[in-house]
A = this chain, B = another copy of it.
Amino acid sequence: DDIAQGRAKSRACAVCHGPLGMGTAPDAPHLAAQPATYLSQQLRAFRSGERKHAVMNVIAKPLSDADIEQLSAWFASLQIEVRPPP
């Protein structure tokens, strides 16, 4: 299914965004639980160059529409909880 295939394809993402979508670099956002619509919009924008980022434009270039939908489904499937601030 989309989520399992997305997880399999997400290995390249994990370098900056972490294996469970929690970013490891100061300029890499957390992808865990982001809405699938938002994620696919951003991947399409990186693929077309409408949104600019040195790394993401290269990573997104070869992605097919199916890749984008599956990667988005995988990260959107993760659940996060916000701890109320102190």
Query: Which residues of A come within 8 Å of B, CB atoms?
Result: 7, 20-23, 25-30, 32-38, 41, 50-52, 77-85
Contacts and interface: CB of A to CB of B under 8 A. Distances in A.
B78 A79 contact: no
Contact of A20 (B22, B41, B84): B84
Nearest to A78: B82
Taking the full assembly, how many copies of this chain does it contain?
A: 2
A3 to B, nearest CB: 8
B38 A28 contact: yes
Main secondary structure of the interface of A (DSSP, over half): loop
Contacts of A82: 20-22, 32-33, 78-80
Given A26-B38, A35-B28, A37-B27, A85 B80 contact: no
Interface pairs A-B: 3 shortest CB-CB? A26-B37, A79-B83, A80-B80
Contacts of A52: 50-51
